Amino acid sequence: MKGRVIALDHLNGREVAALIVDGRLEDLFVDKDDMPVPGTVYLARVDRPLKGQGGVMMALGPQTGFLRRAKGLAPGQTVLVQVSGYAEAGKAVPVTDRVLFKSRYAIVTPDAPGLNISRAIKDDDRRDVLQGIARGGMDGADAGLILRSACETADDEDILEDIEAMRSLCDQTLAHQELGLVHPGDGPHLRAWREWSAPASVNTQAGSLEDTGALDAIDALSRVDVPLGQGSMAIEPTRALIAVDVNTGADTSPAAALKVNLAALNDLPRQLRLRGLGGQITLDLAPVMKRDRRQIETAAKAAFRRDSVDTEIVGWTPLGHLELKRKRERRPLSEVLG
């Protein structure tokens, strides 16, 4: 199956959005209803400060939130906050007071005035047109605006409509006075429309996950081992970290270790993204000479630079493990579908 296909379906009663590129599952959105998703906005009450951490616990309603860098906030004060990630088991929901209103083409930023256009849009004539659309859509507004890269090929009327919708949502949210939930975050189907803006064929029929092969790919994500041609890697979440073990398999040639390590690093961002894994990640790579480490680091940086989830290459341990630190933007797939 060639080209980009988006399957919007349901699995175990939950919304699922799958992006398939040339027959391979590239991205996956699926959520449970027991926790707020990133983008959810609350008018929260400051509960208590956490000494030594520079943050405060916040009452979101039925949930408890944690706001970092909360200098100057006093218990009982109300603050508009937005869920910024998924909570680990038993921990508070991470929130930020820098609220954004994000859609397919426009991001309205109430705390950051100014009109900005994605740097990915290089054409000067197109940037001039978008600047005019931005000025018209935000005329008289105190909030700022960012036009996303999808605006480069989008219809001007669609962009303006998106700006007006996000501006209206921003105004309504800022005017909200009642404690608790103000605006829910986007579900998987709406998030897919917002984030997967490149041209694609969209299949909304029941059973589209099976028809596109995404269902089999989702099932494979429940397995630890990931084949890599002659070798393989095992991805195993533990309580403390994500362990990745790379093996050459039956290949005993001199170049086998470096070859399988590079293959593992090329596919690792996709595997972590699809499995919803983040936090501390330790790679036990196939044994290579120290002189090969620079090539491995370069490959790792290039692979994660193309990924949508922020990941930092921390460095090598004395035992020769490569350590990463990855933002927890998603819930583990095993929890969502479990």
Q: How many CB atoms lie within 10 A of CB 223?
A: 10
Residue 201: both structure tokens together: 């064929």
Closest CA to 133 of 113, 121, 116, 119: 116
Q: What is the pLDDT of residues 195-231, one digit of tens each?
A: 999 999 999 999 999 999 999 999 999 999 999 988 9
Assign 22 a pLDDT band (cuts: 50, 70, 90): very high
Q: What is the pLDDT of residues 140-159, one digit of tens each?
A: 999 999 999 999 999 999 99
- How big is the chain, counted in residues? 338
Residue 124: both structure tokens together: 């000067």
**pLDDT of the residue at 220:** 96
Q: Which residues neighbour 191 within 8 Å (Cβ) at sequence distance 6 or greater?
A: 17, 29
**pLDDT of the residue at 146:** 98
Rounded CA separation 233/257 (Å): 12
Q: Amino acid identity of 105?
A: Y
Q: Amino acid identity of 112?
A: A
Assign 35 a pLDDT band (cuts: 50, 70, 90): confident
> What DSSP assignment string belongs to 166-181?
HHHHHHHHHT--SSEE
Can you list the domains of the chain with their CATH numbers? Answer: 4-31+196-215 (no CATH), 41-96 (2.40.50.140), 101-186 (no CATH), 224-337 (no CATH)
Q: What is the pLDDT of residues 76-93, one digit of tens each?
A: 999 999 999 887 777 899
The torsion angles phi and psi of 31, rounded to 5 degrees, stand at -135, 160
H/E stretch holding 132 reads helix 124-137
Q: Amino acid identity of 276?
A: G
pTM higher than 0.85, yes or no?
yes
Q: Amino acid identity of 83?
A: V
Q: Amino acid identity of 238?
A: T
